[in-house]
Chain A
Amino acid sequence: MDWHRIRSDFPILDQQVNGHPLVYLDSAASSQKPRTVISALTHYYERDNANVHRALHELSARATDAFEAARKKTARFIGAASEDEIIFTRGSTEGINLVANTWGMQNLRPGDVILVTGMEHHSNLVPWQLLAQRTGATLKHIPVLDDGTLDPAAIETLLDERVKLLAFVHISNSLGTINPARELCARAKAVGAATLLDGAQSVGHMPVNVAEIGCDFLVFSGHKMCAPTGIGVLYGRMELLEKMPPWHGGGEMILSVTLEASTYKPPPQRFEAGTPDIAGAIGLGAAIDYLESIGLENIHRHDHNLSNYAVQCMGEVPGIRILGPQSGQRGSLVAFHLDCAHPHDLVEFANSHGVAMRGGHHCTQPLMRRFQVPGTTRASFYFYNTIEEINRLVEVLHAARKFFS
Chain B
Amino acid sequence: MALTDELRDLYQQVILDHSKNPRNQGEIPPPCLHAHGDNPSCGDEIDVWLRLADNGLIEDLKFTGQGCAISQASASMMTQKIKGKSREKAAAMREDFRRVVMGDGAPQDEDALGELILLEGVQKFPQRVKCAMLAWRALEQALEETP
Residues on A facing B (Cβ under 8 Å): 18-19, 341-345, 348-349, 352-353, 359-361, 365, 368, 374-375, 403-404
Contact = CB atoms under 8 A, between A and B. Distances in A.
28 contacts: A18-B3, A19-B2, A19-B3, A341-B69, A342-B68, A342-B72, A344-B44, A344-B67, A344-B70, A344-B131, A345-B68, A345-B69, A345-B70, A348-B7, A348-B10, A348-B125, A352-B3, A352-B4, A353-B4, A360-B42, A360-B43, A361-B42, A374-B43, A374-B44, A374-B66, A374-B67, A375-B42, A404-B11
Nearest to B43: A361
Contact of B16 (A352, A365, A404): A404
Interface of B: 2-4, 6-7, 10-11, 16, 41-44, 66-70, 72, 125, 128, 131
Nearest to A342: B68
A168 B10 CA distance: 41
A375 B43 contact: yes
B69 to A, nearest CB: 5
B43 A352 contact: no
Contacts of A352: 3-4, 6-7
Contact of A342 (B10, B41, B69): B69
A368 B43 CA distance: 10
A308 B6 CA distance: 34
A342 B7 CA distance: 15
B46 to A, nearest CB: 12
Contacts of B10: 348
Given A360-B42, A375-B42, A404-B16, A345 B2 contact: no
B134 to A, nearest CB: 12
B92 to A, nearest CB: 29
A338 B44 CA distance: 17
B125 to A, nearest CB: 7
A345 B74 CA distance: 14
A343 B66 CA distance: 12
B124 to A, nearest CB: 10
Contacts of B43: 360-361, 365, 368, 374-375
Given A341-B69, A368-B43, A374-B66, A349 B131 contact: no
A360 B41 CA distance: 8
A349 B3 CA distance: 10
Nearest to A404: B16
B125 A344 contact: no
B36 to A, nearest CB: 15
Contacts of B2: 19
Contacts of B128: 344, 348
Contacts of B70: 344-345
A342 B45 CA distance: 13
Of A343, A348, A349, most B-chain CB atoms within 10 Å: A348
B3 A342 contact: no
Contacts of B66: 374
A344 B7 contact: no
Given A345-B69, A348-B7, 5 more contacts: A19-B2, A348-B10, A359-B42, A361-B42, A374-B66
Contacts of A349: 7
Nearest to A343: B68
Among all A-B residue pairs, the 3 with the closest Cβ atoms = A344-B68, A342-B68, A361-B43
A345 B121 CA distance: 14
